[in-house]
Amino acid sequence: MSSNEEIINLLGRLNKDKTNDNNDSLENETTLNLLENLTKNGISEPLIMIILDKIIKPTLKVTDKTKLLDQCLIPNDDLSIDIFFKIISIIGVSRVYFKGDRKLKSKQLNIPLQLKLIQWIINYFQFFENNLCKSGSIVLTLLIKSLDYEFSRGPISQLIIILLNSMLSNHNQLITFYNQEIYHTINILKSNHIQSVVNLYNKFPLDIYLQELLAYFRNFNPDLDYIIYSPENFPLLNKLKCNLYQVYRWKDNDELAHITTTNNKRQKTSIISKPDTIIHNIEILDQINKINPYKLVRNAFDNDNEAKLLTILFQTGNNRFINKVDKYIGAILTTFINSEKELQFFLQQISHLYEISDGTIILPSIENFILDINISVMKFCQQFKYRYKLIKYLYNVDLERLLQMIHHHTLILKQIYDTNNGLYQDNSNFNYQSCDEYVGNILYLLNLGIFEKLNDIISRINQLLPKLYEFIKYCKYNQEQLVNQIIEFLINLSPSLFQQLNSKTIIIPRSLTYSCLLSCDPIVVSNITQHIFNCKTHNYQDSINYRNLQNSYIMDTINFLWKQRFLNIDDGNNTSNKGFFFHPNFITKLTSLHTFDCSYLSSPSSIGELFYNPAFSYIVTKIIWDIEDNTKDSINTRHEGPISKESLLRLRNDNEKIWLPLSFDELKISILENLEIKHFNGITDLLFNSLKSLADKRKHQ
């Protein structure tokens, strides 16, 4: 029996799916040891194909597949492109798909084995080199396509560079499959390859492997100019520097030469194992004064391990080192940033650095940049989207400076607001959507202070929230959502902490409160009513005006949602019915609109009632449908809507129709109960606890 036949027979023993039985495991181990001995001098391509089938198919345990790959997959001659195709075709992740009504998940080789197979191609590239180069651009196209998967981006980009470097060493001269009689000068790096990597980089600007590829492309083609691939970002792309040692960590300079020079084209490459991290870091700390902080910062922007090292060095409290880093960052901001794109990219790098450090790294230069109150209106509008993403990392920010910053930004927004006559302009230079993150980041700092039990957290909340109210007044585009963020923050406070806050802090300004009550978002309406309810028990002893305003919120909300008395105003200064504080003339004009002349439409007074409320009308209708479905044996008709006292009376008077045996008020109570089941607790808490007529009607106490 030949050695090839013996190898095939041994592989057949591994064909069955093995259980956890010890005898099976020992048999597999023995078989693998025999295979290792038979394959140690290398095997032919057909045997490699058979072993790859064993690794890819789900018939073996992962440990057995790993041993096959590590110990037996050793080529002894050049390999065809078919081996490459077989491996590259299995790179990917499991996908969910539907077959008829069944939801299925595709089976995929596990990620560590996928990475090992790519590394195997790299390790034995000398056996692939001739045929991969002959293929022209098809191999490069498949590799570029595989960059879509983040988990394999490192070894795939490494393989791309090895392939291109092999072409470079041959001066792009190759014999193709199509004409093997002469050499052709072919540039396998096509414009579509470059564009694909540029597009990926624009999505993932912090990915070091994409950066390295783009930098290497310019080494491969010195005439390459990224202006045609990324008109907005080309200055940054053209400045990228190739630094393969930093990215791929080659064992030594001789192996690095395989990539960076045109010699030793058949040399094997591999990645070094990581040093003992703890010992390495202790040695670094012992030599902190010898470290070049500027180089470390540059590396930390692109390498998470270097960023973690920088974090450790900041924890030593070495002021000299920290000051050098901060001055370097400040110099970049003030001197070396030449465009908005460069600034945006730099701040993204700083943000990533802050995120890794988890509050350990404090940079006064960045804090000064963020809190700058001398920023012009134009720069504020241009940079707002990415400049103030960093607010949440200013853990030790001076409160007074933060208040001044918010006040300055409020004045700028007011200027924009006044210029547009209070209207939101789609073509405005200011990105109002970014206000969500701006407000959220400031609230994040407050939550962080609560978590860390800062002594002055009450004072911080009392000073910051009123400033945020003023800021939000001029964000008409997403005002309700911004207020809702603050409401959720207040709702989540502990009762004891909430009771210590000033009335000015918890009583949200009228325009913002009523805007939320009129929202089409049911969550916003539920949250504002929950907050109004929570404010009922607050101590207003020293602020009677806020107590009166709170009472008006309660009465106006009840009139709006329950009593069909929207915009009702009672005579007298002592009344709480303020009709949303609208001018009486506006209310008169509203009631005279012809919109309300049709009998099937609601009157102005019932606009906010649950059956007509823009936020809840569909939810309430769905609740009524469910009630009708649950009692379909007792009824023979559905209510066509909209529901009112008059419509119910008409239905009762029709002898041919049988509907729910509920009065109008009983139906509304049933709807309230269902809203509570659906967790719209704000409305139910306020109504059940504020109306005497509902005091004993609540089932879910």
pLDDT > 70 in the chain, percent: 81
Is residue 15 domain-resident?
no
Does residue 543 surpass a pLDDT of 90? Answer: no
Q: Which domain holds residue 659?
A: 507-701
534 neighbors 491 (Cβ within 8 angstroms): yes
523 compared with 175, residue with greater pLDDT: 523
- Comparing 115-119, 266-270, 415-419, 575-579, the range with the smallest average pLDDT is 266-270
| Pick from 407, 329, 339: nearest CA to 369 | 329
Indicate the residue type of 543.
Answer: S
Average pLDDT, the chain: 80
Helices (H), 420-456: 435-451
Same domain, 347 and 451: no
Of the residues 341, 363, 385, which one is the last residue of a structural domain?
Answer: 363
Same domain, 230 and 280: no
Tally of structural domains, the chain: 4
* 642 preceded by a cis bond (ω within 30 of 0): yes
28 neighbors 17 (Cβ within 8 angstroms): no
Is residue 309 domain-resident?
yes
Rounded to the nearest 5 degrees, what angle is found at the Cα of 608, between the Cα atoms of 605 and 613?
140
Segment (H or E) for 99: strand 96-99
Does residue 177 surpass a pLDDT of 60? Answer: no
How large is the C-alpha radius of gyration of the chain?
Answer: 35
Is residue 69 domain-resident?
no
Does residue 536 surpass a pLDDT of 50? Answer: yes
What is the pTM assigned to this prediction? 0.58
Is residue 428 domain-resident?
yes
Same domain, 522 and 633: yes
Residue 610 is encoded by which pair of tokens? 């649950």
pLDDT of residue 134: 78
As a whole number of Å, the end-to-end CA separation of the chain is: 83
Query: Over the stretch 388-411, which tens digit does the pLDDT of each residue have?
Result: 888 988 888 899 999 999 999 999
Is residue 219 domain-resident?
yes
Query: Over the stretch 276-313, which tens digit does the pLDDT of each residue have?
Result: 444 344 444 455 555 677 778 888 888 888 888 888 88
Same domain, 654 and 534: yes
Same domain, 389 and 486: yes
- Comparing 148-152, 283-287, 529-533, the range with the smallest average pLDDT is 283-287
DSSP conformation class of 250? B
- Comparing 34-48, 87-101, 135-149, the range with the smallest average pLDDT is 87-101
Same domain, 253 and 315: no
Give CA–CA dist 85/45, Å, rounded.
13
Same domain, 210 and 325: no
Q: How far is CA 494 from the centre of its chain?
A: 29
Same domain, 479 and 626: no
- The residues, ordered by sequence, that sit 6+ positions from 395 with a Cβ below 8 Å of its Cβ are 359, 362, 445, 448
Task: For residue 20, name the pLDDT band (cuts at 50, 70, 90).
Answer: low
475 neighbors 413 (Cβ within 8 angstroms): yes
Task: For residue 262, name the pLDDT band (cuts at 50, 70, 90).
Answer: very low
The sign of the CA dihedral 145, 147, 150, 156 is: positive
pLDDT of residue 559: 87
Indicate the residue type of 309.
Answer: L
Residue 157 is encoded by which pair of tokens? 């980009």
pLDDT of residue 3: 76
SS3 (DSSP) at 493: coil
pLDDT of residue 270: 34
Query: Over the stretch 581-603, which tens digit does the pLDDT of each residue have?
Result: 665 666 666 666 555 555 444 56
Q: Pairing relation of β-strands 96-99 and 173-174?
A: unpaired
Q: Ramachandran region of residue 641, left (φ > 0), alpha (ψ -120 to 50) or beta?
A: left
251 compared with 175, residue with greater pLDDT: 175
Is residue 121 domain-resident?
no
Query: Over the stretch 350-393, which tens digit does the pLDDT of each residue have?
Result: 988 888 887 778 889 999 999 999 988 888 988 888 888 889 88
Does residue 638 surpass a pLDDT of 60? Answer: yes
Q: What is the DSSP string of 278-295?
A: HHHHHHHHHTGGGS-HHH
Task: For residue 604, name the pLDDT band (cuts at 50, 70, 90).
Answer: low
